[in-house]
Amino acid sequence: MYNRKVRYEYISMEESFPLFVESIGYNPYEQDFNRPEGYPYYHWLQTVEGNGRFSFHGQDYLLSKGKGILLKPYTPHMYYSLGKKWSTIYITFGGKSAGSILDALNMNHSSIYTELRELQVEIMMQDMLQKMKLDSEFSKIDLSIYLYKFLLNLKKYGRMNSQSSLSYLYDKVRKIVDWLEIHYAEDITLDEMAMQLNVSSQYLNKLFQKTFQISPYTFLIQLRIRKAKEILLQNPEVPVKNVAILVGFNNLSYFISTFKKREGVTPKKYKDMYGKNNRMTVK
């Protein structure tokens, strides 16, 4: 990245922002730190070259290339180099909504992240540092946008400790999702879904919970409702009872109640409101 240490620190942060950057930088020769009281902001530290030892919550971790750590504010920790050269990139941040954003991403806890190649943190950070160096107008708002993208990508691509990334998990369930897109109207059991991946129904359920935070059956119901909405909008002349059968609901009453529970209106009302013969547009 650079041949020298680079650091930008914002003494006056926009603390009213949902997210703000407190500091960002690159250190070709990371120093040893012992912070028994922690750091007052969220802290991301990632190895670019070499190896470091990071300790928190009573455990030691090897921070080699391709690994990073996200620490919550005021988490006691220490870290030190394990060789002649340990190069790192880092960013510290906070904001009025930082905690709630990380809560929504299920990332609001101190954790080691691995397999960061697809995340391309180094490229993103280098771009940020370069823009700050060359462009005096590169604002704190721009930094906040970069930070938000970074957190979303970290959620998508990074593996938290031994957990799998979302992209990795979705690759595993893609086959069954593609299969359901074709066979959703059939009378499908959980065991039949599991057979498509050659796994147990228990494992399939766990896989869907981790990937989509819902069960395979709920995923199927949501898919059927989505397909029903497509028919209701594109072919409003099709009777509701026929739509139910076309998307896999054998019981009309159950179809209507499920549709209303998810969409807030009955299938007929939805068709009347948004069908192609109606001038209203779907939002």
What radius of gyration do the chain's Cα atoms show? 25
Q: What is the pLDDT of residue 109?
A: 85
> In this predicted structure, what is the pLDDT of residue 281?
39
Q: Which amino acid is at 224?
A: R
Predicted local distance difference test score (pLDDT) of residue 160: 75
Residue 138 · residue 132 · CB < 8 Å:
yes
Q: Helical H runs in the chain?
A: 98-104, 121-134, 140-157, 166-183, 190-197, 201-212, 216-234, 240-246, 252-263, 267-274
Q: Give pLDDT, residue 12.
A: 56
CB 252 within 8 A of CB 240: yes
- Looking at the chain, the whole-number percentage of residues with pLDDT higher than 70 is 87
Instruction: Say if CB 169 and CB 204 are below 8 A apart.
Output: no
Of the listed ranges 47-56, 84-93, 207-216, the least confidently predicted one is 207-216
In this prediction, residues 9-24 reach a mean pLDDT of: 76
User: How many residues in the chain?
Assistant: 283
CB 155 within 8 A of CB 166: yes
Provide the token pair at 64.
């080699």
Residue 262 one-letter amino acid: R
What average pLDDT does this structure show over 94-104? Answer: 92
Domains and CATH numbers, the chain: 6-160 (2.60.120.280), 168-274 (1.10.10.60)
DSSP reduced 3-state for 73: coil
Is the separation of the CB atoms in 210 and 234 below 8 Å?
A: no
